Amino acid sequence: MEREPPSLARARAAMVRDQLERRGICSPAVLECMGRVPRHLFVDESLIQHAYQDGPLPIGHGQTISQPYMVALMTEALDLKPEDRVLEIGCGCGYQSAVLAGLCSRVYAVERVPQLFDRARGNLMRLGIRNVSLRLGDGTLGWPDEAPFEAVLAAAYSRDVPEGLRNSLAFGGRLVMPVGDSEGQLLVSFSRGADGKVSRRTLVACRFVPLLRDPKPTAR
Ligand code: SAH
Sequence-distant (6+) residues with CB within 8 A of 110 are 87, 88, 89, 90, 91, 134, 135, 136, 137, 138, 139, 143
Nearest atom, ligand 1, residue 59 CA: 8
Cβ-proximal residues to 181 (8 Å cutoff; 6+ apart), any chain:
157, 159
Taking the C-alpha atoms of residue 93 and residue 205, their distance in angstroms, rounded to an integer, is: 23
- Would 22 be classed as within a structural domain? no
Residue 41 forms part of a structural domain:
no
Residue ID of nearest Cα to ligand 1 atom 17: 90
Angle CA(147)–CA(27)–CA(30) in degrees, nearest 5?
60
Residue 160 covered by a domain? yes
Give the model's pLDDT for residue 214. 72
Helix intervals (H) in the chain: 6-14, 28-36, 68-78, 95-101, 114-126, 163-166
Q: In sequence order, what E strands does the chain have?
A: 57-60, 63-65, 85-89, 106-111, 132-136, 149-154, 169-181, 184-192, 198-206
Whether residue 6 is contained in a domain is answered as: no
Q: Is 66 a catalytic residue?
A: yes
Is position 97 within any domain? yes
Q: Is residue 145 part of a domain?
A: yes
> Quick one: pLDDT at residue 1?
58
| Cα(125) to centroid(ligand 1), Å | 19
* Amino acid 217: pLDDT: 52
Q: What is the pLDDT of residue 216?
A: 60
The reported pLDDT for the residue numbered 219 is: 54
How many CB atoms neighbour CB 153 within 10 A?
A: 26
State the closest ligand 1 atom to the C-alpha of 154, by its place in the atom list counted from 1: 11
Number of domains in the chain: 1
pLDDT value for 2? 66
Low-confidence ranges of the chain (pLDDT < 50): none
Q: How far is CA 7 from CA 22, 49, 68, 202, in A?
A: 21, 9, 18, 36
Give residues (CB < 6 A) around ligand 1: 59, 63-66, 89-93, 95-96, 110-113, 116, 138-140, 155-156, 209, 211-213
Q: Which of 66, 97, 158, 168 is catalytic?
A: 66
Pocket test for ligand 1, best of 40, 87, 111 (most atoms within 8 A of CB): 111
The range of the structural domain enclosing residue 139 comes to: 60-206
Tell me the CA–centroid distance for residue 80 and ligand 1, in Å.
Answer: 21
Q: What is the CATH number of the domain that holds 191?
A: 3.40.50.150
Atom of ligand 1 minimally distant from the CA of 120: 8
177 domain residue, yes or no: yes
Q: Residue 111 domain-assigned?
A: yes
